[in-house]
Structure 1
Amino acid sequence: MLTTIKNLPALTITSDNFQAYGQLITSSKDGKLYDQTDAKLNLKNGIPRFYIMQLKKRGRQFDRITRHCQCTQCLGALEGKEWLMAVAPPSEQNYPDLTQLKAFKIPGNCFIKLNVGTWHAGPYFDHDEVDFYNLELSDTNVVDHFTYNFLKEDNLTFEIVT
């Protein structure tokens, strides 16, 4: 059986169009008081881990999507590099709602906070290499890493297009 490749157009991220998946966090003046524009974090279920992950040659295709049900996750690119992320809102099922699957183009001068349970594929990019900072729990990728395999279950691959 042939694999179907579906194009997923990338939207330019805004606070409004990303709201179902998490938050877009942009710069603010030093001294600003805490408000609704700050990341609302849930890291209470373990030891927070903040690290820099180096990714190489990611391209734009994916056939798996993951979620974390015990914490929020923050991601941002260093060096101002633009990147892409596909997301679907949290769901009760063990698979994402394809009707709500979206891709976003994210500039390198901000970061995203994913809500607890948000399905995500990425980061993806066209650069040779990008360093990303990542805030999650120390054991997120061991005990809180649930993946749905589109290729195995649906014979489907996605390609993010801009």
Structure 2
Amino acid sequence: MRASQTLKQLKAEWITPENFQPYGQVIFPSGDGKAFDQQDAQLNLENGIPRFYIMRLHGKGQKFHQITRHVKCTQCLGSLAGKDWLMAVCPPYNDINQPVLEELAAFRIPSNCFIKLEVGTWHAGPYFDHEFVDFYNLELSDTNVIDHFTHDFLKSDQLQFEMV
């Protein structure tokens, strides 16, 4: 890290439906046969072909300097194999083209739930200390090609973040 850069620590709180509400939803297990309601993921996948896949990420750690958003769809992420993970988020203010630094938050996500990011939610992660983690990911087939907007805090503010 260059001398002019600042490393800011973000305290990662355990995720709950209430504290994650500005960014999306937290989906916990429900009984088989339960009727669809507001506790289920409220998806927006109408702007393309949905893609549901398993991605393997290696050695992500807990530091980041970039944050991304998708403005054409919701995105769902969850870990496999019982591994907790971290995610940093900023609210989806879709009328501005950068995240609101003062509203950056970090969450620790247990393996017994998944998150649905609201359309436009800025997100950095998943991050973790494990050697690797497999994640299921639901987004559009071309999300990472045509709907991938990234803000680099190092370039704009000389900032890097660490989730603790």
TM-score range, shorter-chain basis? over 0.9
- Listed as ranges, the matches of 1:73-112 within 5 Å are 73-91=75-93, 92-112=95-115
- CA distance in 1 between partners of 2:4 and 2:61 (Å): 21
Q: CA deviation at 1:126?
A: 0.6
Higher strand content, 1 or 2: 1
Does the alignment pair 1:36 with 2:38?
yes
Percent of pairs with identical residues = 66
Q: Which AA in structure 2 matches 1:78?
A: L
Q: CA deviation at 1:124?
A: 0.2
- CA distance in 2 between partners of 1:31 and 1:105 (Å): 29
Moved over 6 A (4+): none
Partner of 1:145: 148
Indicate the SS of the match to 1:81: coil
Identify which of 3, 8, 11 aligns with 1:9. Answer: 11
- CA distance in 2 between partners of 1:16 and 1:98 (Å): 21
Partner of 2:56: 54
Q: Which AA in structure 2 matches 1:142?
A: V
- CA distance in 2 between partners of 1:81 and 1:107 (Å): 7
What are structure 2's unaligned runs of at least 5 residues? none
Report the number of matched residues: 161
Indicate the SS of the match to 1:96: coil
Indicate the SS of the match to 2:67: strand
- CA distance in 1 between partners of 2:155 and 2:102 (Å): 19
- CA distance in 1 between partners of 2:37 and 2:96 (Å): 32
Q: CA deviation at 1:80?
A: 1.1
- CA distance in 1 between partners of 2:40 and 2:86 (Å): 21
What are structure 1's unaligned runs of at least 5 residues? none
- CA distance in 1 between partners of 2:112 and 2:81 (Å): 8
Q: CA deviation at 1:93?
A: 1.4
- CA distance in 2 between partners of 1:97 and 1:64 (Å): 13
Normalising by structure 2, we get a TM-score of: 0.97
Partner of 2:161: 158
- Listed as ranges, the matches of 1:115-154 within 5 Å are 115-154=118-157
